[in-house]
């Protein structure tokens, strides 16, 4: 097979692309898990609903499987709300305009780096009404089915006597939760 190489694509660009894939994927997953614990600590009533749904759909004798996801509607809504509210990648991923174009009346020259403010999308009061509120039900219809408007949504037990963790995270390329302590204990009920 004869493969033509693109002289404008360098080894450094390949290395950068690989680092983006591995680092961004693991960091966003880690931060999402961290914020999931933080939000469950802050909203124990939501945690209880997730536990109840997991018990009903999955039970306690096996791990959840990918096939369970479609049935775990409230749990999925909670994860979506965590991702919306925590805004882990607030500026998304940088893109470069491959050609000159216009966007919403603005001229974008070829080669321009374009960043999208996912924060402004996830916190848009015109769409979300109360964007600062943590309300997973916003992703469910009246029948309990998941609803997602992709235009506006792009992506444990607690027994600690200290203060609840802060919902605001540390700024960076991605937002990460501030350090917190939580004790994970098996449920007995």
* Structural domains counted in the chain: 1
Alpha-helical regions (H) of 43-169: 44-57, 73-86, 118-122, 125-128
Neighbouring-strand partners of residue 107:
102
| pTM for this predicted structure | 0.74
Q: What pLDDT tens digit does each residue of the chain (189 aa) get?
A: 565 666 777 877 777 777 767 766 777 888 899 999 999 999 999 999 999 999 999 999 999 999 999 999 999 999 999 999 998 888 877 778 888 998 889 999 999 988 888 899 899 999 999 999 999 999 999 999 999 887 888 873 336 456 777 888 877 778 888 877 777 667 776
Query: Is 4 a member of any domain?
Result: no
Tell me the two tokens of residue 35: 């914020």
Query: Is 106 a member of any domain?
Result: no
Query: Is 115 a member of any domain?
Result: no
Query: Is 109 a member of any domain?
Result: no
Q: Which domain holds residue 23?
A: 11-88+126-177
Query: Is 68 a member of any domain?
Result: yes
């Amino acid at each position: 097979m004869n493969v033509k190489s693109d002289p404008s694509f360098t080894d450094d660009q390949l290395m950068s692309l690989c680092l983006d894939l591995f680092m961004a994927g693991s960091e966003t997953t880690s931060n999402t898990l961290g914020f999931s614990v933080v939000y469950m600590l802050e909203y124990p009533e939501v945690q209880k609903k997730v536990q109840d749904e997991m018990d009903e759909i999955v039970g306690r004798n096996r791990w959840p499987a990918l096939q369970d996801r479609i049935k775990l509607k409230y749990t999925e809504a909670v994860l979506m709300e965590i991702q919306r509210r925590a805004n882990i990648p607030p500026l998304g991923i940088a893109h470069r305009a491959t050609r000159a174009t216009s966007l919403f009346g603005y001229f974008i020259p070829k080669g321009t780096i374009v960043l999208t403010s996912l924060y402004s999308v996830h916190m848009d009061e015109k769409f979300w009404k109360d964007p600062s509120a943590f309300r997973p039900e916003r992703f469910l219809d009246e029948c309990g089915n998941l609803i997602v408007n992709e235009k506006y949504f792009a992506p444990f037990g607690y027994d600690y006597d200290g203060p609840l963790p802060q919902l605001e995270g540390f700024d960076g390329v991605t937002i990460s939760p501030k350090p917190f302590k939580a004790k994970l204990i098996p449920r007995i009920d």
